[in-house]
Structure 1
């Protein structure tokens, strides 16, 4: 079954052996073609592609050859590799993925032998600090409710707690209501909490977060809110941020395009077109054309166009 939400669909009657012979037409076939390619040519497909492409194009092509889970795992590993930490990548993945996706990420990360001495929670704790650390560790530890049930009374009580924290000029802390509520409630309950908070305070939860927090913790809480209220709008804003100003944050651009290409990229494109930041009402494709070039640009545009 196909969907209008995303541009990349599973191809009916897919013949992996035939695609292995015509690799240039199979760059989006992912893991399906790796086995046949190895059997036919005696070499790994990723290694062959690595030799064929370079730079941004290589980054994108290799991302397309991975499953969404494998790609998230690679991105998290790279974000914590070596000196320094890529907090933006940690925030986007950990604070925007569903509870089921986070459980899969944590389980696969921890069962990898190379992480035997340093599971995901420990790795994150070693690269971050304070309430930001506590929030990320709680999320990868499975704190988030993945259900659909809501409770109006609880939503009002939680809104009061959040408002009280703000009135007390909260500056963070592991016991804060912001951390407990945003890290544990399911998205449907959180929407009710946010609505009750706005009724009570006369301001949005986003405004309160910007007032009370700063830095990576602020970004993390805003990511949870954005992914909860309108995930497609959130990712449209991520795409805009990756291409605004001088230079392009290629890894951020690739991560969103690839991760959402089989989920909701068409909806994200609509949000991008009508977003407040898009004064000129440029399409995502036109923006990509203006910020990228060559094979990298062409492949991004091919993903947006889809395979239907």
Structure 2
């Protein structure tokens, strides 16, 4: 498939996402094309349509497909596709809040817990978004997300995760917060409490001032302080939180550059309509290579073309 194909499709620009609503949207026409593509196993057409519509438009396509064919679109895709491409196109059919709930559930499923994916979502989503994700999580899995986090995590990391899940902005005094964090480092063992309380309950501007003040106070950047004074899962969680306070795009770009396929796919799908342009810019700045080029070095075939369509263009 020609990676430049999407240039012929008029897009509605003006957001920080790479995938925007398709301006000349006709769901009936899309369904007829998809139906024919499924019969012919025409993967190129499936990728072209599903990566070139917004999630809301994909929901309309899925419901229209069911009305017109009395069949489920996801089930139809499963019959024709396989492997990573199947996973990606099915992910694109999931509503955004449900997708984040699913990513959280997958991070806690099985024997080990993927702590960094938990932190990635908890740190990059607002309190309001996390409330919505919690509600959808309960609908999908008949379980309480807070209780699940408690069961799958422990110690200070669990306290941090739960504080982030229930975060609300509380007014604070910058100097007082700096002093509290500094004082927490004075003992032989650093006190996690103030770090959890302060870093999960203030707005970003306030916290950036606190972290800059802490650097002046200690002579070390916050990341170095966390690295030296804390350990284990809590250190990982706190480092992710600090990085997301300072520059969430840079954190996500760094995660993309080191991530295995499911994590990379999760971030790209999750942020495609919100801020993937910002993450792309941060990726170029931190690696010296555009995300578009990096994808071509790592993947191939139809899966690569689908990722490139979501990435949208070279920087």
TM-score category of the 2 structures, normalised to the smaller one: 0.7 to 0.9
Alignment partner of 1:186 is 2:203: yes
TM-score where L is the length of structure 2: 0.85
Structure 2 distance, partners of 1:216, 1:62, is: 32
Alignment partner of 1:283 is 2:308: no
Matched with 2:263 is 252
Alignment partner of 1:58 is 2:82: no
* SS of match in other structure, 2:200: helix
Q: What stretches of structure 1 of length at least 5 have no aligned partner? A: 243-248
Structure 2 distance, partners of 1:123, 1:222, is: 23
Change (3 A) 1:128 1:172: farther
Q: How does 1:199-238 map to 2 (within 5 A)?
A: 199-238=216-255
Q: What stretches of structure 2 of length at least 5 have no aligned partner? A: 1-11, 35-45
| Count of equivalent residues | 285
Matched with 2:37 is none
Check conservation: 2:15, 2:274, Cα contact below 8 A. Answer: no
Structure 2 distance, partners of 1:43, 1:53, is: 16
| 1:95 to partner: Cα distance | 2.1
TM-score where L is the length of structure 1: 0.87
Structure 2 distance, partners of 1:53, 1:169, is: 56
| 1:84 to partner: Cα distance | 2.4
- Backbone CA RMSD of aligned residues: 1.9
Alignment partner of 1:262 is 2:286: no
Alignment partner of 1:27 is 2:50: yes
Out of 286, 290, 300, the position equivalent to 2:307 is 300
Alignment partner of 1:6 is 2:23: no
Matched with 1:123 is 148
Check conservation: 2:102, 2:137, Cα contact below 8 A. Answer: no
Moved over 3 A (4+): 169-173
